[in-house]
Structure 1
């Protein structure tokens, strides 16, 4: 039997790296946009374990690993938001001329927004699941930046000792066996934390610049899904700011939509995958 996430494929980038992707082809002759998923900061293709197969009932559905995560090798030139968006656009070009629906979770939200703004003619829509958004002022204060800086040595220690895997036991227990094997092999080693730290080095400064000059998405439909619950480092104040920012982001699109995931905190792809799949299906074909 094949893997639940489909067949593996290696995608070349413009500077010679290779990105690991997995493809579920969808039904023959479906005529719907290809759906491409972008994971959160330390996550890879397996974070879409419950969403991708559901989407593939109606469309080709592609997951991949950013450089330095999953099976994709690290990027020796760094992990700026610009380079992450370039990689995503290289991946889209590998799979055809579109149209594409891009789906991003957390940090993946800004990545898909920037990629879409650079080549909007091939983008049919965006679905952003609890994304990082520049309208949330809390992201740019000293307190958040200090917390982020101090967290990386702790996470690296957890990865070395196995505590990181134990802290995500709830996620492992919720995934099918082939996903779980992938995660146990790839998701909890120190290299993941190194990539996460490299992504964070310039990310907030790049996103902060969008407060004055956000990526131009034109008429691309944008659906933003917010978790309703606190947790995963988000207290009530942070959650309220995040959701207000999400509502604002959806309102910037002429066909924007803001949806609350009532049973979810930050990990909407795990706790309400059916909601994400339904919102993808609502977008125009």
Structure 2
């Protein structure tokens, strides 16, 4: 898929029950997630709607971006993808750091977006993620990740991701693409301004109007299971409940058996919320 400045992004599409229907579900991953991270959710959604996963610039099979990887720039790429699949309607699904990106994209293309599903998203209402300690922890994690990726050891931290892959081709793609040094490089470039940009949403949030919003996770588990301390988890979940309440059709759903990695640990929870929105919109033609 071409971007407005001539780069190319790589997407994979499951056509859904009606290949002629332009409606689609589009997935946006977290900071270092390739398209393969969504595989288990994508195959659950495909029986009711076209399902589109893609690699953000610098990840997977997408070309790197020579320009700073700001939230605004990442949103430009997602908007280009939405325009590529216009006239819609489109349900946008964003996990973790992809949450603010899909919210901003929806504010730019409200006529295309039929609904948002935010999966354990970074949210400006959780002050703890903008603290000095959180920022220090992020820098340490990037430095450690850089060393492990260079040594070829990064994949051993994510054995559960590989084990949960729904097919051998997904597992092979993850091994080739998800743990390379370029992934950490892209994460580091995104991290330079990401938290500052999202914190600015406190005074100037994306206007998503009446677009239905479902905050799917809130994971229920904390530190021992996914590396998120209790304080961060508590504030994140409170922020998710607040975000859902801002929508006239908002829902706050908790994945009881998951921490942060819900697309891997409880893909059905996410798929159920997507399918609910699909069936509520007659333009998808789902039963």
Scaled by the length of structure 2, the TM-score of the pair is 0.93
Q: Which residue of 2 aligns with 1:255?
A: 249
In the TM superposition, residue 181 of structure 1 has moved relative to its aligned partner by 0.4
Give the Cα–Cα distance (whole angstroms) in 2 for the partners of residues 91 and 119 of structure 1. 11
Does the CA contact (< 8 Å) of 1:30 and 1:59 recur in 2? Answer: no
Give the Cα–Cα distance (whole angstroms) in 2 for the partners of residues 213 and 95 of structure 1. 28
Q: 2:197 aligned to 200, 206, 217, which one?
A: 206
In the TM superposition, residue 236 of structure 1 has moved relative to its aligned partner by 1.3
Q: Which segments of 5 or more consecutive residues in structure 1 lack a partner in the other structure?
A: 1-10
Q: Would you say 1:196 and 2:190 are equivalent positions?
A: no
In the TM superposition, residue 189 of structure 1 has moved relative to its aligned partner by 1.1
In the TM superposition, residue 232 of structure 1 has moved relative to its aligned partner by 2.6
Q: 1:43 aligned to 33, 48, 61, which one?
A: 33
C-alpha distance 129-30 of structure 1, shift in aligned 2 (>3 A): farther
Give the Cα–Cα distance (whole angstroms) in 1 for the partners of residues 103 and 11 of structure 2. 20
Q: CA RMSD in A?
A: 1.2
Q: Which residue of 2 aligns with 1:229?
A: 221
Does the CA contact (< 8 Å) of 1:138 and 1:238 recur in 2? Answer: yes
Q: Number of matched residues?
A: 275
Q: Which residue of 2 aligns with 1:275?
A: 269
In the TM superposition, residue 33 of structure 1 has moved relative to its aligned partner by 3.3
In the TM superposition, residue 29 of structure 1 has moved relative to its aligned partner by 6.6
Give the Cα–Cα distance (whole angstroms) in 2 for the partners of residues 42 and 248 of structure 1. 26
**CA displacement, residues 3-57 of structure 1 (integer Å, 9 cap, x when unaligned):** xxxxxxxx00000000000011101278583100001111011011110011010
**CA displacement, residues 119-170 of structure 1 (integer Å, 9 cap, x when unaligned):** 1111000000100001001011111111112221211001011221111112
Give the Cα–Cα distance (whole angstroms) in 1 for the partners of residues 150 and 19 of structure 2. 47
Give the Cα–Cα distance (whole angstroms) in 2 for the partners of residues 264 and 32 of structure 1. 33
Indicate the structure with greater strand content.
1
Does the CA contact (< 8 Å) of 1:32 and 1:58 recur in 2? Answer: no
Does the CA contact (< 8 Å) of 2:19 and 2:50 recur in 1? Answer: no
| SS of equivalent residue, structure 1 residue 19 | coil
Q: Which segments of 5 or more consecutive residues in structure 2 lack a partner in the other structure?
A: 282-287
Runs of 4 or more consecutive aligned structure 1 residues displaced over 2 Å after TM superposition: 29-33
Q: 1:28 aligned to 18, 39, 50, which one?
A: 18
Q: Would you say 1:64 and 2:54 are equivalent positions?
A: yes
Give the Cα–Cα distance (whole angstroms) in 2 for the partners of residues 221 and 271 of structure 1. 25
Does the CA contact (< 8 Å) of 1:30 and 1:58 recur in 2? Answer: no
Q: Would you say 1:163 and 2:153 are equivalent positions?
A: yes
Scaled by the length of structure 1, the TM-score of the pair is 0.94
Does the CA contact (< 8 Å) of 2:86 and 2:112 recur in 1? Answer: no
In the TM superposition, residue 213 of structure 1 has moved relative to its aligned partner by 1.1
Give the Cα–Cα distance (whole angstroms) in 2 for the partners of residues 281 and 30 of structure 1. 19
Q: Which residue of 2 aligns with 1:129?
A: 119
